Structure 1
Amino acid sequence: MSKSFHPPSQEKPYRILGVQQIAVGSPSLAGLRSLWIDTLGAKEVKTFKSESENVDEIVTTLGKGVASVEVDLMTPLDPSSSPKVDSPPLNHIGLWVTDIRACVDHLEGEGYTFTPGGIREGASGHDVCFLHPKPREGKGGEGVLIELVQAPEKVIEAYETLEEL
């Protein structure tokens, strides 16, 4: 017996527009580069290092223009420290959101928990925050670290012009 999906009746003060990025981790940045850039053809955009986030990262993209998806290739600066950006190997998924502040306020009101750090500038220059994958209290990402990414106006405008498949 299949269940019908019924969207919540409450109007939300934000919209999720689609996937902004995926982040994959490995102990070997060279292995990630070989697979994603050399073999699959991702375009290297920039590199990013953060000791506080324990990450050495290559930011790449697949696709074109506002329809491109960022693929972040990550390895830990210190494999013995946290966070463990290479475990699990699919580290997190990022979602474009029209109004990150309204989204966070709404989700917190619904009992969702975010990781420490609040809304801040991410590696690609967009405001970001992370829904906790497994909070001790409250609701979370059901085991998945979810990054909410403030969509720039050009992404929001392009989304408005898209047609359904």
Structure 2
Amino acid sequence: MRFDHVGIATRDADTLADLFGTLFDAPVAHRETFDGLDVTFLDLGNGYLELLEPLDDEGEGAIPRYLDREGPGIHHVALETPDVAAALDTAREHGVALVDETPRPGAWGHEVAFLHPKSTGGVLVEFVEH
């Protein structure tokens, strides 16, 4: 596995993309609307910053709930794996609580699955298969 991206919950992806683009020389690599979110990936050269902005402040979903509870900030850390299902099996074998029992579609056409932060030191971990 290798580092893929850090997901950042925000209420203003455009402003944050402009700031991080300027500060880190990180151009927009990909942008899409996915699962009620404006999702923007900024290319750092060795990974990405994923900006996650809800399309609707009243919307349902993990990111609006996170923003209401915690405010803007780091939401998750993502690790690239060649096989999300196998990575989930390994986590399961080690007693790690899973958010996703099986891989599911994620942004940018990737397969993803999340590990529950109660089993990972308070960090929401995402497995990503390109």
Q: Which has the higher strand share?
A: 2
Q: TM-score range by the shorter chain?
A: 0.7 to 0.9
2:34 to 22, 26, 50: 50
Matched, 1:69 2:47: yes
Aligned residues: 124
In the aligned structure 2, how far is the partner of 1:123 from the partner of 1:100? 15
SS at match of 1:106: helix
Deviation at 1:117, TM superposition (A): 6.9
The one-letter amino acid of 2:122's match is G
Matched, 1:106 2:86: no
Matched, 1:59 2:37: no
Matched, 1:143 2:122: yes
Q: Is the 8 A contact 2:29 2:43 kept in 1?
A: yes
Mark the structure with the bigger radius of gyration.
1
The one-letter amino acid of 2:10's match is S
TM-score scaled to structure 2, two decimals?
0.80
1:123 to 92, 107, 110: 107
Q: Is the 8 A contact 1:19 1:69 kept in 2?
A: yes
In the aligned structure 1, how far is the partner of 2:102 from the partner of 2:73? 24
Q: What root-mean-square deviation, in Å, do the aligned CA atoms of Structure 1 and Structure 2 show? A: 2.1
In the aligned structure 1, how far is the partner of 2:95 from the partner of 2:101? 18
Q: Which residue of 2 aligns with 1:31?
A: 15
The one-letter amino acid of 1:71's match is L
Summarize the Cα distance change of 1:61–1:50 in structure 2 as closer, same or farther, 3 Å threshold.
same
Summarize the Cα distance change of 1:47–1:117 in structure 2 as closer, same or farther, 3 Å threshold.
farther
In the aligned structure 2, how far is the partner of 1:48 from the partner of 1:30? 13
Q: Is the 8 A contact 2:8 2:76 kept in 1?
A: yes
Query: Which structure 2 segments of 5+ residues have no match?
Result: none
Q: Which has the higher helix share?
A: 2
Q: Which residue of 2 aligns with 1:12?
A: none
Query: Which structure 1 segments of 5+ residues have no match?
Result: 1-15, 135-139, 153-165
Q: Which residue of 1 aligns with 2:62?
A: 83
